[in-house]
Amino acid sequence: MTRARWTILIVPALLYFLSYFHRVAPVVAAGDLMATFTVSAAALGTLSAIYPYCFAIMALPGGSLTDFLGPGRTLTLGGLSMSAGRCSSAWPRASGWPSRAASSSGSAPP
């Protein structure tokens, strides 16, 4: 196989692995998440159960973007947005930016 074919195979596979890691990570850190955010196991389970619904809802715009932009650009935009979301959630609370962004989107109390 040529180098381009390997790239076409490996890049989406790595993005899928990263997506899988995002889905499994809350399970590994469940105890810490429950202690940090003072939520019950049932509430944490509900939040984890939302993942498949988000994927199902985003399948339609993702397919339309793939038709419009092409698979390369769609994978690039998806990977960058997934990475930006993960990096913003990893910033310390002292910066305040993630909590302000969540507040402005209506997903967290002010």
- Give me the pLDDT at residue 94, please: 47
DSSP letters of 31-86?
Answer: HHHHHHHT--HHHHHHHHHHHHHHHHHHHHHHHHHHHHH-HHHHHHHHHHHHHHHH
Considering only CA atoms, which of 53, 107, 25, 54 is closest in space to residue 98?
107
Per-residue pLDDT tens over the stretch 21-76: 777 777 788 888 888 878 888 888 887 788 778 778 888 888 888 899 998 888 88
**Rounded to 10 degrees, what is the CA torsion of 87, 93, 94, 96?**
80
Q: Which has more confidence, 30 or 110? A: 30
CB 103 within 8 A of CB 110: yes
